[in-house]
């Protein structure tokens, strides 16, 4: 079994206006996840003190990290990351179709229980047109439908969409929302102070069994970001035969920094 967590950290800026990667890391540590997907990280940005938030959170947790910048402003970066103490390999990172603010995704293989699990972390756009095109890309051969990939798949992140939307249904024709396998009422994640919307999601292949799913609603979590973290405890049977490595993997590893566990 493996525990997955997704969290939009809002540049680690809480309701008090303070940027604190350490506070975010403490909230994550309290859930004790095996794999963490983070959105809205600042790296080297003046507005949050020039801190490499991806590295700082990973170092605090003793995890390796892969960071995908979706926006570059001179030497400053903003984007998403996947963290884990397990061995992971970058498969792909890059942009998604976007008319508005640039959006992207990050795909890794995590070595788990003798095989691999494919994890895709994303943060979709604010317009329905963008989200539909972005989901079509993610479900296509360039990402989750890659014929070389035989691993169980998990798609997670901040989707900026609610379960009643057409784009949500676009996803659930292919994958399963982890809440659908839970006896609990689905938890809302945004805004953190008074959650009204369920826009952060974890989707899996149909063969994955959900053991537990929940939203972290502690006082600290309500103050640390404008989203609440969503986690799922999953029973996964990884493929014993790992997929072939994508021929561009070596080149892509040079584009995204991978840090070993501390």
Per-residue pLDDT tens over the stretch 50-106: 999 999 999 999 999 999 999 988 889 999 999 999 999 999 999 999 998 899 999
pTM, entire model:
0.90
HSE-up (13 A, CA, CB side) for residue 219: 0
Contacts of 112 (CB under 8 A, 6+ apart): 2, 34, 86, 236, 238
Is the predicted pLDDT of residue 251 greater than 90, yes or no? Answer: no
Q: According to the model, what pLDDT value does residue 229 have? A: 98
DSSP code string of 15-41: TTS-B-HHHHHHHHHHH--SEEEEEEE
Q: According to the model, what pLDDT value does residue 240 have? A: 43
For 128-149, how does the pLDDT look when each residue is reduced to its tens digit (9 = 90+)?
999 999 999 999 999 999 887 8
For 177-228, how does the pLDDT look when each residue is reduced to its tens digit (9 = 90+)?
999 978 889 999 999 999 999 999 999 998 899 999 999 999 999 999 999 9
Tokens, residue 219: 């006082």
- Give the chain's mean pLDDT: 90
> What is the arrangement of strands in the sheet containing 115-123, beginning at the earlier edge strand?
88-96, 103-112, 115-123, 153-158, 200-204, 176-177
Question: By percentage, how much of the chain surpasses pLDDT 70?
Answer: 90
Is the predicted pLDDT of residue 239 greater than 70, yes or no? Answer: no
Is the predicted pLDDT of residue 255 greater than 90, yes or no? Answer: no
Is the predicted pLDDT of residue 24 greater than 80, yes or no? Answer: yes
Determine the Cα–Cα distance for residues 253 and 262; give it in Å rounded to an integer.
Answer: 20
DSSP code string of 190-247: BSSSS--B--EEEEE-TTPEEEEEEE---HHHHHH-SS--EEEEEE---BSSPPPPPT
Domains and CATH numbers, the chain: 2-236 (3.60.10.10)
Q: CA nearest 199: which of 231, 228, 233?
A: 228
Question: By percentage, how much of the chain surpasses pLDDT 90?
Answer: 81
Q: According to the model, what pLDDT value does residue 238 have? A: 62
């Amino acid at each position: 079994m493996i525990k997955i967590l997704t969290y939009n950290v809002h540049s680690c800026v809480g309701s008090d206006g303070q940027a604190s990667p350490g506070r975010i890391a403490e909230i994550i540590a309290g859930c004790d996840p095996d794999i963490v997907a983070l959105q809205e990280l600042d790296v080297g940005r003046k507005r949050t003190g020039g801190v490499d938030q991806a590295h700082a959170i990973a170092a605090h947790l003793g995890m390796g990290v892969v960071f995908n910048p979706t926006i570059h402003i001179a030497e400053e970066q903003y984007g998403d990351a996947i963290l884990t103490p397990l061995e992971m390999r970058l498969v792909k990172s890059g942009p998604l179709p976007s008319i508005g603010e640039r959006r992207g995704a990050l795909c890794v293989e995590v070595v788990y229980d003798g095989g691999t699990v494919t994890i895709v972390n994303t943060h979709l756009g604010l317009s329905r047109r963008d989200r539909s095109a972005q989901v079509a890309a993610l479900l296509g051969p360039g990402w989750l439908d890659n014929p070389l990939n035989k691993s169980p798949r998990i798609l997670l992140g901040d989707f900026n969409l609610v379960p009643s939307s057409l784009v949500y249904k676009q996803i659930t024709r292919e994958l399963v929302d982890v809440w659908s396998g839970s006896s609990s009422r689905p938890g809302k994640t945004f805004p953190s102070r008074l959650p009204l919307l369920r826009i952060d999601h974890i989707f899996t292949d149909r063969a994955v069994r959900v053991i537990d799913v929940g939203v972290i609603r502690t006082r600290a979590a309500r103050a640390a970001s404008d989203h609440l973290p969503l986690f799922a405890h999953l029973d996964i049977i990884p493929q014993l035969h790992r997929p072939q490595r994508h021929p561009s993997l070596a080149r892509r590893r040079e584009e995204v920094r991978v840090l070993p566990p501390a």
